[in-house]
């Protein structure tokens, strides 16, 4: 190596930040194939986790950052990382449809951006290398402008020849080698001396392919990227592309050739194809599950809502008992549908987390209130212990934490007949602004046999005691495990048959000091004092119309509200054109004109005051509520069917108050 050339490239420690499992596998595989050592490579699934990791392991100098991680969507993650680690080399991985995002990332300080769809063994590593070298060069030229790189061209060609990853050689038409580089004997897996003894064309296969190649070369003087197999000394074969040019001088007839090994690239292509097929079928499955859950939620709306109404009428003790069973069963069914939706999200790597500051103590006390009732039915004790040092305001996904604790606590109640359930929270570790909390849910129930304990977190595991038939579906624990692990935590269990079980998990949180604003107090209808609330209910399903009307009338005296029903979107806009209303409750799927179309018409084609009327979407599609799709269509809010009467009343008062009184 001449002393004035660049120092050889040493593979950096690379941290991949990505929350899609199949993309993690693809990138890891590609990097490993292109020679990055496994211990030089690590992956985190969120920005929060990555920041924690990088503080611990500063030697990870290069970051591959996906633009879709949940707590760093778009450019947000990049900005967070640059703020904390200004000297790291960050390469952004963008989706094809978000190409523009890649450009803004570069403007914001990323060193490069790659399109996920185009990641290949042959491109990913050189790109990292270019980014790293570019940065190093830039830094070097800034500090001292002395190290100017000058290579004479002879030396340059020699270096390219020596260091090329492609086999470069010159041979005669029989295949006897005259000159070749290191990559040549590495490709054929022969020693340098052995190679000189043989005719390399004997290692080309198939024989027909070899003949075809030589004919083409002699006939036209050159060949470009001709596909051919190379059989190595050890019997293994490599898939290659060969490019060659004839040499015809008075002293020598032969050709110069370049062979590129594309075996790994081919493997990566196959992997990518498999990934695309898997994605496609996951999408279909997800659609199917979403449809089924919709089909189940709609009739459940009627069952649950109607039994709610019946419970509020005069009933004999016997009737009350029957109706309460109907109510509990429909609640249970709703729980099953929700669990199936979560499992399908997990299996499609589509779990998204919604990180916000929240009051942990409030969450725990609310949880206790909810499960108190179930524990009371079996006369079990419930105990909540928040140890000293556990912060009150933390940054995390509140709903998911609640879901995990609820599953564990409910299992505790389900499998315990005597004694009680204790929920413990303690502080495991604290550093600057982060805290690692340990949650333990302990019961004094039947316990879990030691030979079953390993399988307990797998989907659909049920352990049945002889003669005892516990209700269950084996989804609760796998959901809890995924929710914990995908947020970077660990979950485990200790148990003894007949004595009880102890489930525990830990999670990392940022500590917050946010002051929470008081939620806007919805004024009750009575205090509005501006006449009755005029509601336009747009719903095609007769049973759902009845549930909504009866629930509303139960809550408000008929003098305080005035409900008009429209059977579809078209009827709704005709009625609205004739008469004033204070709020619209709008179903989405309807014949003639659906809820989105009707909303668009109201927002864009009606006079100003009418165009601003609050519109609440009513849907049984959980995902519509979750991704707030209804907002794109101009709706203000959403009520999920079967609706919680309290939530519906609260939203109606809140929106009509703003519209009638504040406007």
Instruction: For residue 474, state whether it binds ligand ADP (rule: CB under 6 A).
Output: yes
Closest listed residue to residue 26, CA positions, set 78, 81, 60, 66: 66
Instruction: For residue 462, state whether it binds ligand ADP (rule: CB under 6 A).
Output: yes
Alpha-carbon Rg for the chain in angstroms: 33
Q: Nearest residue by C-beta to ligand ADP? A: 472
Please identify which residue in 182, 239, 436, 461 interacts with ligand ADP, judged by CB under 6 A: 461
Please identify which residue in 411, 545, 594, 653 interacts with ligand ADP, judged by CB under 6 A: 411
- Minimal distance in Å, beta carbon 509 to ligand ADP? 24
Please identify which residue in 477, 538, 617, 640 interacts with ligand ADP, judged by CB under 6 A: 477
Provide DSSP, 616-657: EEEES-HHHHHTTHHHHTT--EEEESSPPHHHHHHHHHHHHI
Instruction: For ligand ADP, give the closer residue by CB, 108 or 455.
Output: 455
Instruction: For residue 419, state whether it binds ligand ADP (rule: CB under 6 A).
Output: no
Please identify which residue in 446, 563, 584, 598 interacts with ligand ADP, judged by CB under 6 A: 446
Instruction: For residue 20, state whether it binds ligand ADP (rule: CB under 6 A).
Output: no
Alpha-carbon distances of 473 from 401, 403, 462, 469, 470, rounded to whole Å: 21, 16, 7, 12, 9
Instruction: For ligand ADP, give the closer residue by CB, 407 or 544.
Output: 407
Alpha-carbon distances of 560 from 554, 569, 645, 651, rounded to whole Å: 11, 25, 17, 16
- Minimal distance in Å, beta carbon 471 to ligand ADP? 7
Size of the site for ligand ADP (CB under 6 A): 21
Token pair, residue 201, equals: 């064309």
Instruction: For residue 440, state whether it binds ligand ADP (rule: CB under 6 A).
Output: no
Token pair, residue 8, equals: 């050889």
Closest listed residue to residue 70, CA positions, set 99, 92, 39, 47: 47
Please identify which residue in 119, 448, 491, 586 interacts with ligand ADP, judged by CB under 6 A: 448
Instruction: For residue 463, state whether it binds ligand ADP (rule: CB under 6 A).
Output: yes
Number of Cα atoms under 13 Å in the Cβ half of residue 30: 28
Stretch that binds ligand ADP, among 257-265, 272-280, 471-479, 575-583 (CB under 6 A): 471-479
Instruction: For residue 473, state whether it binds ligand ADP (rule: CB under 6 A).
Output: yes
Closest listed residue to residue 441, CA positions, set 413, 462, 419: 413
Instruction: For ligand ADP, give the closer residue by CB, 46 or 342.
Output: 342
Strands (E), 130-264: 167-172, 177-180, 204-205, 222-231, 237-248, 253-261
Instruction: For ligand ADP, give the closer residue by CB, 111 or 501.
Output: 501
Instruction: For residue 89, state whether it binds ligand ADP (rule: CB under 6 A).
Output: no
Alpha-carbon distances of 206 from 200, 210, 214, 224, 255, rounded to whole Å: 13, 6, 13, 18, 20
Stretch that binds ligand ADP, among 6-14, 129-137, 226-234, 467-475 (CB under 6 A): 467-475
User: How far apart, in whole angstroms, are the C-alpha atoms of residue 598 and residue 616?
Assistant: 12
Instruction: For residue 472, state whether it binds ligand ADP (rule: CB under 6 A).
Output: yes
Instruction: For ligand ADP, give the closer residue by CB, 362 or 496.
Output: 496
Biggest distance spanned by C-alpha atoms of the chain: 114
Stretch that binds ligand ADP, among 89-97, 109-117, 243-251, 466-474 (CB under 6 A): 466-474
Closest listed residue to residue 476, CA positions, set 405, 528, 427, 535: 405
Please identify which residue in 72, 102, 445, 488 interacts with ligand ADP, judged by CB under 6 A: 445
User: How far apart, in whole angstroms, are the C-alpha atoms of residue 544 and residue 620?
Assistant: 11
User: How deeply is 366 buried, as exposed, middle or buried, from its count of CB atoms within 10 A (0-12, 13-18, 19+)?
Assistant: exposed
Instruction: For ligand ADP, give the closer residue by CB, 254 or 500.
Output: 500
Please identify which residue in 415, 581, 649, 657 interacts with ligand ADP, judged by CB under 6 A: 415
Is the Cβ–Cβ distance between 650 and 518 less than 8 Å?
no
Please identify which residue in 72, 77, 412, 420 interacts with ligand ADP, judged by CB under 6 A: 412
Q: Give 240's strand partners.
A: 228, 261
Instruction: For ligand ADP, give the closer residue by CB, 457 or 556.
Output: 457
Please identify which residue in 72, 396, 476, 488 interacts with ligand ADP, judged by CB under 6 A: 476
DSSP 427: E
Instruction: For residue 422, state whether it binds ligand ADP (rule: CB under 6 A).
Output: no
- Minimal distance in Å, beta carbon 304 to ligand ADP? 21
How many Cβ atoms sit within 10 Å of the Cβ of residue 112?
Answer: 19
Binding site for ligand ADP (CB under 6 A): 407, 411-412, 415, 443, 445-448, 456, 461-463, 470, 472-477, 501
């Amino acid at each position: 190596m001449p002393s004035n050339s660049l120092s050889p490239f040493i593979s950096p420690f690379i941290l991949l930040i990505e929350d899609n499992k199949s993309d993690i596998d693809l990138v890891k595989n590609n990097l490993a194939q292109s020679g990055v050592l496994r211990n030089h490579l690590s992956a985190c699934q969120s920005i929060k986790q990555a920041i924690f990791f990088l503080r611990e392991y500063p030697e990870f100098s290069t970051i591959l950052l996906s633009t879709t991680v949940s707590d760093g969507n778009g450019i947000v993650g990049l900005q967070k990382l640059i703020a904390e680690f200004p000297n790291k080399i960050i390469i952004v991985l963008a989706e094809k449809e978000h190409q523009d995002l890649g450009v803004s990332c570069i403007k914001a300080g990323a060193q490069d951006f790659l399109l996920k769809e185009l990641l290949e063994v042959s491109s990913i590593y050189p790109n990292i290398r270019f980014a790293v070298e570019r940065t190093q060069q830039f830094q070097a030229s800034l500090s001292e402008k002395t190290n100017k790189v000058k290579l004479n061209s002879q030396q340059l060609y020699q270096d390219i020849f020596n260091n090329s990853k492609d086999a470069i050689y010159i041979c005669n038409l029989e295949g006897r080698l005259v000159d070749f580089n290191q990559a040549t004997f590495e490709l054929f897996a022969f020693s340098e001396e052995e190679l000189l003894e043989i005719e390399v064309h004997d290692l080309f296969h198939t024989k027909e392919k070899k003949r075809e190649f030589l004919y083409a070369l002699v006939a036209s003087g050159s060949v470009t990227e001709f596909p051919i197999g190379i059989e190595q000394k050890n019997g293994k074969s490599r898939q290659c592309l060969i490019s060659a040019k004839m040499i015809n001088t008075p002293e020598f007839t032969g050709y110069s050739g370049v062979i590129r090994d594309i075996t790994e690239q081919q493997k990566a292509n196959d992997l990518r194809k498999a990934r695309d097929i898997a994605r496609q079928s996951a999408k279909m499955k997800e659609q199917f599950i979403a449809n089924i859950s919709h089909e189940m939620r709609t009739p459940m709306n009627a069952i649950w809502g109607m039994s709610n109404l019946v419970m509020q009428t005069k009933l004999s003790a016997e009737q009350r008992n029957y109706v309460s069973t109907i109510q509990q069963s429909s609640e249970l069914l709703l729980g099953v549908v929700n669990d199936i939706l979560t499992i399908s999200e997990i299996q499609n790597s589509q779990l998204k987390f919604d990180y916000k500051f929240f009051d942990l103590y409030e969450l725990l006390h609310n949880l206790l209130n909810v499960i108190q009732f179930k524990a009371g039915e079996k006369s079990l004790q419930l105990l909540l212990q928040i140890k000293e040092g556990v912060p009150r305001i933390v940054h995390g996904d509140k709903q998911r934490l609640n879901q995990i604790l609820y599953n564990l606590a409910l299992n505790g109640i389900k499998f315990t007949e005597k004694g009680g359930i204790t929920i413990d929270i303690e502080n495991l570790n604290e550093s600057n602004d982060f805290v690692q909390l340990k949650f333990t849910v302990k019961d004094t129930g039947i316990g879990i046999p030691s030979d079953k304990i390993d399988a307990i977190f797998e989907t659909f595991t049920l352990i049945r005691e002889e003669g005892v038939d516990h209700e269950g579906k084996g989804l609760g624990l796998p959901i809890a495990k995924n929710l914990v692990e995908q947020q970077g935590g660990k979950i485990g269990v200790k148990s003894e048959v007949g004595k009880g079980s102890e489930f525990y998990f830990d999670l990392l949180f940022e500590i917050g000091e946010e002051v929470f604003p008081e939620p806007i107090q919805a004024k009750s209808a009575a205090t509005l004092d501006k006449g009755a609330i005029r509601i336009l209910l747009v719903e095609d399903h007769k049973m759902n119309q009845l549930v909504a009307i009866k629930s509303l009338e139960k809550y408000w005296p008929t003098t305080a509200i005035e409900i008009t029903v429209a059977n579809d979107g078209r009827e709704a806009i005709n009625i609205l054109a004739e008469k004033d209303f204070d709020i619209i409750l709008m179903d989405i799927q309807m014949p003639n004109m659906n809820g989105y179309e009707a909303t668009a018409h109201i927002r864009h084609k009606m006079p100003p005051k009418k165009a601003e009327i609050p519109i609440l979407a009513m849907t049984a599609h959980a995902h519509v509520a979750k991704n707030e799709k209804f907002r794109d269509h101009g709706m203000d809010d959403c009520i999920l069917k079967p609706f919680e009467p309290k939530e519906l009343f609260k939203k109606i008062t809140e929106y009509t108050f703003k519209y009638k009184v504040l406007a």
